[in-house]
Chains A and B, each alone.
Chain A
Amino acid sequence: MRPLRQLTAIGVISLAAAAATYAIKGPPLRRLICDPASLKADEVCLSQIPATARTLWVDARSRLAWQQSGVPGSVLWNLDPTEDMQAFEADVALHIVDTPQVIVYCSDENCGVSHQVADRIRKLQLGAQVSVLQGGWRALNEAGLTRR
């Protein structure tokens, strides 16, 4: 019987500590945290991009999402087979001439489409420096850089 009482005590103490933490510090912080040390080779954190850098933003989400809430000045390149991939290629190529720094974003840190789009842009062999934004659109939105 003692283990049961002790188990109950552990549960009660844990709940009390959690309630106290919530009361003092508030609900858990849901903001995206990007740690440069944990990035893959071709990824960047938003904080690493100088505000003055000329960047070609490539939105890898759906056309509707891009139109509603993309980064102003961004271009679209997603992997929806109903889209015209050659039109995406040509559009990005025409922009890369003036802006060879390219950063691709999709919806959030769980989305893998941006890496595939970045690979497709690299395969164009236009000499652009192509990166993927860790945290994607969510990071940009939290920073107030998206269309509202």
Chain B
Amino acid sequence: MKIAIVISWMLAAVAHAAGLEFAELLKEVHAAPDAARVVAEFNFTNHSKKPARLANSDPGCSCLKVEVTDGKLNYAPGESGMLRATFEMGNFSGTIDKNIALWINDDPADEPSVKLTVRVHIPVLVNLEPKTLKWVIGGKPEPQTIHIQMASEKPIRVINVKSSSSAFTYEVKTIKDGKAYDLIVTPVAMEVPGISVLRIETDCAFAKHRAQQAFALLQKP
């Protein structure tokens, strides 16, 4: 009886292991400030004793294209391949994770057996600190400052600021031309809660870094 139980366990283990093994499940990519797309490559091998089939993939976003070497979907035991993920970056900056779900052989529709992640780091050239200024209703309408720092070798200048609301006044001070600026914001009144979106426009050469947003918030205590 023991032999039969051991055999049944072994059969279950073989069935579970029948698939592709990826050398890495997470790939980190550092993009240039003006890069339109980045590519991440994932190598894999069929370490099982059965053929494995890449049955389906879901990149979760039209911005991510998934291709396999030569379009090959079936892999014999011991055979290797490479999956290439191409990410169209659009207007992103900062860090973003893009996930790819893979269904191997007969994986259930709601349980892909492989999940790959492409982590893309896109430099932020215009840094705002803090991103939001806050005041409390009934408090003093004292000015507060957003520090704007340029993280680029070439100078980037603030050329305009627009506010979505007249509930706050603002003034831009040059700290170091092309490198550092202060945006000083002051609430006009302190009675009613409100928010203003401050749009900071620069002359940055890269369109997606050109305009940034900050917020001025007058909130309840």
A108 surroundings in chain B (CB, below 8 A)? 110
Q: Nearest Cβ in chain B — how far from A49, in angstroms?
A: 22
Cβ-based interface call for B82 (8 A): no
List the one stretch of A17-25, A33-41, A111-119, A140-148 in contact with chain B: A111-119
* Chain A residues within 8 Å of B, Cβ to Cβ: 3-4, 6-7, 9-11, 62, 79-86, 89-90, 93-94, 96-97, 108, 110-113, 116, 120, 123-127
Against A, the Cβ 8 Å flags (1 = close, 0 = not) of B208-219 are 000111010101
Query: Whose C-beta in chain B lies nearest to the C-beta of A87?
Result: B213
Which B residues lie within 8 Å of A11 (CB)?
8
Residues of A within 8 A of B117 (CB): 112
Question: Are A3 and B134 closer than 8 Å at their CB atoms?
Answer: no
Contact A81/B91 with A10-B4, A10-B5, A93-B197 known, Cβ cut-off 8 Å: yes
Query: How many A-B residue contacts, CB cutoff 8 Å?
Result: 87
Give the contact-size bracket for chain B.
35 or more
Q: List 13 A-B contacts (CB under 8 A).
A: A4-B4, A6-B4, A9-B4, A62-B61, A81-B89, A81-B91, A81-B92, A86-B213, A93-B132, A97-B195, A97-B217, A124-B215, A127-B219
> Shortest distance in angstroms between A119's beta carbon and chain B's nearest beta carbon?
9
Interface hits, B91-110 → A, CB 8 Å: 91-92, 94, 96-99, 101, 110
Query: Which one of B89, B97, B134, B164 lies within 8 Å of A116 (CB-CB)?
Result: B97
* Distance between Cα atoms of A3 and B115 in the complex (Å): 39
Candidates B91, B92, B132; contact of A124 at CB < 8 Å: B132
